[in-house]
Amino acid sequence: MLPIDEEEDTARADVSGEIRLPATLEGTGPIPDSAEIAIVGGGVIGLAIAYNLARRGLTDVVVLERGYLAEGASGRNGGGVRQQWSTELNIRLMQESVELCRRFAVDLGVNVWFRQGGYLFLARSAAEVARLEKNIAIQNRCGVATRILEPAKARDIVPELDLTGIVAAAYNPSDGILFPWPFLWGYARQAAAHGVRIFTQTPVGGLERQKAGGYVVHTPRGAVRARRVINATGAWSPRLAQMIGVDIPTYPIRHEICSSEPLKPFLRPMVSELASGLYCSQSMRGEIVGGVTIPGHASTYGMGSTLEFLATYARRLVRLMPILGEIKILRQWAGPYDQSPDGNPILGAAPGHPDFLLACGFVGHGFMMAPVVGKLYGEWLTGSPPHEIFSRYTLARFADGVPQGEKEDFNIG
């Protein structure tokens, strides 16, 4: 086996910077009888883990995706990547993820349009300011340069803001945005270049536990005997886990989002208003991409779009940036948050199932956490000691209700 760096170079030379998806994905034909690891779910989490296993030499890995890559939340999100969180663990994880995002284009050989224009959170009440200040103290302790700004200073960063009713802002210049789709393509292509086989159009319909360990994973294209299964099916994770009688307390919440016609570049940071959950950023192509929280949505896998969302988003956005009053919305869509009870992911083995590993419950931040979680999973499963996320973000933590100590209360934007 080559050292990791040389392997990476070989893989990079092999793919020559072109996007050659058909060679990477196997949408037809038989699947192998056995694999060391079967990852179920071809979203960003499953692919990030696959890539990180393979680059560390564990290549007997299959990814089983029921539809196409980016079919789930990973192809439907806002691409925001931030270090402004409320717990030290999440802040430190995201510091590492941002570093991995910065290197992604070079390491994975694909341009993901990562742009560090910052994140600007806007507060309309003293309570919101207090919440920001509490989080900023922890962020600063970790080395994240977030600071509180007077409203006028926020306008120095975004002159188009209408600051009526805004009492303060929190700004960290090294947060950013990226274009989600090539991120998945980069992971998929490099995982495949290292030997991982990625099967699209391959829904897993059953799991059978083996006495000797591992599972038989049933699909319409055949069955794979896997020593370990990783559940990376996002909002569908409870359904997969139910196949072996494991209960996961996450639930899907539909979130809507939309994109405008392209405008001349003017908006550097992601802007997010705490009170309404409004967020918007300008993509590298110039579109304003954004959403807003519509309270009271029932748990659903539905991915339809509503006029209520569009009207609410338009009203909030134009109140905040009147200059956007005339823009045309070109595309509107929705995707599922995989909502966990304490806002944190669920990782590690399911209780009583040491070979059934979880990588779910990422709420509205799984995209930004995928680089670091994929890396830590890859390290652990190839022999390194497990990172603390695998003992703190377990399914077992919910055995006696929702643990308050770890709760992430900054699931916004």
Give the residues lining the site for ligand FAD (CB under 6 A). 40-46, 64-67, 71-74, 76-80, 203-204, 232-236, 240, 255, 257, 291, 335-337, 362, 364-368
What tokens appear for 334 in the block? 């929705």
Q: Which CB atom, from 7 or from 196, has the smaller least distance to ligand FAD?
A: 196
Please, are residues 193 and 14 in contact by the beta-carbon 8 Å criterion? Answer: yes
To 10 degrees, what angle do helices 44-55 and 4-15 make? 120
What φ, ψ does residue 219 adopt, rounded to 5°? Answer: -140, 165
Residue 243 CB, nearest distance to ligand FAD (Å)?
8
Residue type, 263: L
Handedness of CA 268, 176, 404, 138 (dihedral sign): negative
Alpha-carbon Rg for the chain in angstroms: 21
Closest CB to ligand FAD among residues 176, 214 = 176
Residue 7 or 254: the one with the smaller Cβ distance to ligand FAD is: 254
Q: Which CB atom, from 163 or from 303, has the smaller least distance to ligand FAD?
A: 303
**Closest approach of ligand FAD to the CB of residue 73, in Å:** 4
Nearest approach, Cβ of 222 to ligand FAD (angstroms)?
14
When the beta carbons of 7 and 185 are compared against ligand FAD, the nearer one is 185
What six digits make up the tokens of 207?
């799991």
Q: Which residue, 47, 25, 34, 24, is CA-closest to 230?
A: 47
| 59 vs 74 by CB, closer to ligand FAD | 74
Q: What per-residue string of b and e applies to 193-220 under the rule 16 or more CB within 10 Å gives b? A: bbebbbbbbbebeebeeeeeebbbbbbe
Least distance from ligand FAD to the Cβ atom of residue 274, Å: 16
CB of 384 to ligand FAD, least distance (A): 22
What CA–CA distance (Å, rounded) separates 205 from 200?
A: 14
Q: Closest separation between CB of residue 212 and ligand FAD, Å?
A: 24
What's the per-residue H, E or C state across 305-344? CCHHHHHHHHHHHHHHCHHHHHCCEEEEEEEEEEECCCCC
* Complex with ligand FAD: residue 7 or 114, whichever CB lies closer: 114
In the complex, least distance from residue 178 CB atom to ligand FAD, rounded to whole angstroms: 9
Q: How many CB atoms lie within 10 A of CB 374?
A: 26
| Residues contacting 379, CB < 8 A, separation 6+ | 52, 56, 387
User: Residue 262: which region, alpha, beta or left (left: phi > 0; alpha: psi -120 to 50)?
Assistant: beta
Whole-number minimum distance, CB 249 to ligand FAD, in Å? 16
Q: Which is nearer to ligand FAD, 146 or 200 (CB)?
A: 200
